[in-house]
Copies of this chain bind each other. A is one copy, B any other.
Amino acid sequence: MVVEKDDKLILLTNDDGLYAAGLRTLLGVMEEFGKVVLISTTESMSGMSQALTVKTPIRVKVLEENDKHRIYACSGTPTDSVKIAINQLLERAPDWVVSGINHGSNSSVSVLYSGTMAAAIEGCLYGISSVGFSLNNFSPAADFSTCKKYIRLVMKKLAVQPLPEGICLNVNIPASDKKDIKGIKICRQAKGNWKEEFEKRKDPMGKTYYWLKGYFNNHEPDATDTDEWAIANNYVSVVPVTVDMTAHWYTEELKKQFRK
C-alpha cells in the first residue's frame, strides 16, 4: 500500500478482535475515504478500557497488505495498538483514528470500560480526530449493514470540520431495521451504572470461583437528551467525549470546603 500526500490515512482498530464482523464492515466503509491501516488482536479485548501492557512485551505482525489497506495483528490492548501504530508502524500521523464497530453498545458509563472507546480516546490524546462506533447488538451474527449509512454521515462531517483538541465521538447505532432508524441525535452520556450479579460456581476441585455478570441500571430513563434514550428510541446517538475528567463545576465548592 502506497500512501500518497493527498490520501487520507486512517488508523482502524476495535476490541472484538481481527475476526469480528463489525471490524470488517468498518474497514469496507473506511476504504471509501482513504488508505487504511488496521491493527487489532487475534482475541477479543472487550472490557479492557484504557489498559496498557507494561509487564510483557508487545508483538506485532503484518497479516495482509493490498492497495487499499494493511492489516496488523497486535498482542496488546486496543490502547497499545493505537500507540504502537502511531509510533512504530504508520508512515505518518493518521488523519483519523476509527474504532469498532463494537458488538454491543458503549453508551452511558460503558464508555469507561470499553476498549473500543479507549482506542478512540487514545487517538484523541494524540490530537487526531477519533470516533468509536458501536451497534447495540452483542451477537457475533449481528447485521452491521444498517451502520454504513451513519458511519459515512459522521465521517463526512469530520472531513469538513475536524474535532477540537481533547474531544472524540462515541457513536452508538440501534439494532433496528434500516427503515425504523430515525436519524442522528447529538446526546450526553446518560447517568447510570452496571449492577453486578456475580455468579458463584464450584470448580471440579470444589473451590469457589465467580463469573462477572450484570445489567445496566439507567438512573434517568425519562431524560430525552441522553444516549440511552436515543438508542432506545431508534436514534443513532453521538456523544462528544472529553479526555478532561475534571468536574469543573465542583472545584469552587471543594475549595470552600478545604478552606474551612
Contacts and interface: CB of A to CB of B under 8 A. Distances in A.
A53 B112 contact: no
A160 B260 CA distance: 11
B188 A251 contact: yes
A238 B212 contact: no
Given A209-B59, A258-B184, A198 B84 contact: yes
A126 interface: yes
A160 to B, nearest CB: 8
Interface string A91-134: 00000000000000000010111000010010001110000000
A246 B239 contact: yes
A186 B241 contact: no
Interface in A196-227: 196-198, 200-201, 207-212
A157 B83 CA distance: 39
Given A58-B209, A209-B58, A212-B83, A112 B245 contact: yes
Contacts of A186: 251, 254-255, 258
